[in-house]
Amino acid sequence: MKIKIKKLDPSAILPAYAHKGDAGMDMFAVRDVLLKKGELVRIPTGIAMEIPKGYVGLVWDRSGLAMNYCLKTLGGVIDSGYRGEIMIGIINLGGADYVVEKGHKVAQMLIQKIESPVLEEVEKLTDSERGAEAFGSTGK
């Protein structure tokens, strides 16, 4: 599979896999962005992608940013029909401001095959062992 990528900003860094066999490709900031604590920002990447039909780009946290600075990505579904700039939504859940610098890795994207099931409205669902038990239903 090939994915076409267009630079919208000449200084943009193309996504790249850090290691052979990695699931996610690194996504890079195209400019400096200040993330104040508690704030949600959109970080531009300066690129657009042509994800093939039948696939989706899923944007995920970089583990170091998540675990060390409490930076969480949001809104990370890039559909195959989207041709605009890839923006990385990040919320700063940490206790201090954080500066993303131009050229830094801000997220990772996984390309995954999708299924498009036929949805059927019914009056009743089949019973299961779990049933409608929700959060915490399996204990600690």
pLDDT (mean) for 79-93: 97
Q: What is 4-113's CATH number, 3.40.190.10, 2.70.40.10, 2.60.40.1180, 2.60.420.10?
A: 2.70.40.10
Amino acid in position 117: P
Helix or strand run (H / E) with residue 105: strand 105-113
Q: What is the pLDDT of residue 132?
A: 79
Pairing outcome for strands 55-60 and 105-113: antiparallel
Q: pTM to 2 decimals?
A: 0.87
Is residue 70 within 8 A of residue 32, CB to CB? The reply is no
Q: Report the residue count for the chain.
A: 140
Confidence of residue 108 (pLDDT cuts 50, 70, 90): very high
